[in-house]
Copies of this chain bind each other. A is one copy, B any other.
């Protein structure tokens, strides 16, 4: 490949390859000293996933486990881990950009060996991608390198527009000059350099179509916002990009989703991280992200605070969707999460369970894009009517 590679990529490659080499060199050195080769890896189990109250983050706890080459039960996993590390290392030094699917394919083969009774046996390195993905996670927690640090790419859905300039690769990109289109966020958002920004907050919209509408109507220009869509459940790059805008530029982050447990979970992933992948949260989550709506009190009002609903009786009749059984079940699950046990969230989930009603953002644009853009969002922002 003779096309010039971006200088940031070359630097990132060297760093990751060096860390990977060092961490696995320790194993080799152990062998040289006549010791049993083993890997000590942080546990990624639910019982070792801790919610840090102060930082408002899901994090890996202190538990570790040993993966030893000489333990029969662990030998296969040990081999898989070393195999994965070597595939990634090779990709790094060969200027490759593998995906997790590639890593699965690259490692997939059948090993023939003689067992202790001399019989020839066959074993696959791994059968399903689920298995190689799990091994990759072990490599991530063992080295402290996220996959993005190792130039492992993935598909991306996140888009952004707003009055800011960034450097990505060797280009400077003006995110306020995207016309009717948008900038599709890269899979390695840590390599983006923020050059300058002229905005007061970040609005993340769950739905791509609503993002298109707000963008086209000039929302971000008029209200000095960085406008982002996650196009559904956010991917890692979108989460990391949002976190960096918050942490490094000090921009408050507001998340706009449908009024249903699925929308709440999207907010939760942005804010707290995903439960099964808590080791990423430390870099991917935005602990002070706010849920701006659509909230149940937006739909029904709140007698306790005197808040009036944004929808009329007739609009509620036309727009509300009856909650499904799975929605109810999901809402009850969310109630168990510590970060949903605040007074505001209790009220929100309580109304949902009583009314068994949900609402899409599009019901608000159904009332008029002007309503969403110039009434609903500005009022919510001005009165501080958000959760989180």
Contact = CB atoms under 8 A, between A and B. Distances in A.
Contacts of A102: 362, 365-366, 369
A180 interface: yes
B173 A180 contact: no
A167 interface: yes
Contacts of A171: 177-179
Contact of A370 (B96, B105, B185, B219): B96
A311 to B, nearest CB: 11
A379 B134 CA distance: 36
Contact of A207 (B155, B184, B191, B373): B155
Interface stretch (A3-11, A272-280, A350-358): A3-11
A360 interface: yes
Given A170-B179, A368-B96, A222 B153 contact: no
A143 interface: no
Interface stretch (A208-216, A286-294, A296-304): A208-216
Interface residues of A, number: 77
A78 to B, nearest CB: 22
Contact of A173 (B97, B178, B192, B210): B178
Interface string A11-26: 0000000000000000
A194 interface: no
Interface in A196-240: 207-210, 212-213, 216-219, 221-222, 231
B191 A183 contact: no
B209 A99 contact: yes
Given A171-B177, A181-B185, A186-B179, A153 B97 contact: no
B167 A179 contact: yes
A174 to B, nearest CB: 9
Nearest to A374: B1
Contacts of A9: 180, 216
A212 B183 contact: no
Contact of A177 (B1, B173, B213): B173
Contacts of A252: none
A388 interface: no
A41 B362 CA distance: 29
Nearest to A170: B179
Given A363-B105, A366-B106, A231 B155 contact: yes
A106 to B, nearest CB: 5
A170 B169 CA distance: 26
B173 A181 contact: yes
Given A1-B222, A231-B155, A369-B97, A184 B186 contact: no
Contacts of A154: 209, 212
A84 interface: no
22 contacts: A3-B219, A5-B217, A96-B368, A96-B370, A98-B369, A99-B212, A102-B365, A102-B369, A105-B319, A105-B367, A106-B366, A108-B319, A155-B231, A156-B208, A157-B208, A159-B184, A169-B179, A169-B180, A171-B179, A172-B177, A173-B181, A183-B183
Given A2-B222, A99-B210, A99-B365, 17 more contacts: A1-B217, A5-B218, A94-B370, A95-B217, A97-B217, A99-B212, A101-B209, A101-B366, A105-B363, A105-B367, A106-B366, A155-B212, A181-B184, A181-B186, A182-B183, A183-B184, A184-B184
